[in-house]
């Protein structure tokens, strides 16, 4: 494949993005756990969809407590 390295980089970017916010929100901690679990097994396309979903949930928690 050869794209594993860039996937890893993007995963790191995503995780550092998440950590810029307050991760004490239980829903977010759960989602990050699920993300970590799934990201070890799934393709980059699925990972991309998951990242967008998590960002949506995070924004909803921040702006709609």
Tens-place pLDDT, residues 19-48: 665 556 677 677 777 777 776 666 666 667
d(CA 6, CA 10): 6
CB atoms under 10 Å from CB of 28, counted, come to: 19
Predicted local distance difference test score (pLDDT) of residue 1: 45
The mean pLDDT of the chain is 67
Assigned domain for 23 exists = no
Domain span holding position 54:
37-65
Residue 17 has pLDDT above 70, yes or no: no
Assigned domain for 41 exists = yes
Q: Which alpha helices (DSSP H) does 1-65 contain, by range?
A: 4-19, 26-39, 44-63
Question: How many structural domains does the chain have?
Answer: 1
Predicted local distance difference test score (pLDDT) of residue 2: 44
CA angle 6, 9, 13 (to 5 degrees): 140
Collapsing DSSP to helix, strand or coil, 25 comes out as coil
Assigned domain for 45 exists = yes
Assigned domain for 59 exists = yes
């Amino acid at each position: 494949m050869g794209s594993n390295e860039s996937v890893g980089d993007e995963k790191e970017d995503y995780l550092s993005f998440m950590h810029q916010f307050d991760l004490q929100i239980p829903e977010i901690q759960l989602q990050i756990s699920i993300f970590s679990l799934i990201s070890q097994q799934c393709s980059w396309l699925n990972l991309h969809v998951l990242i967008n979903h998590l960002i949506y949930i995070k924004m909803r928690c921040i702006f709609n407590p």
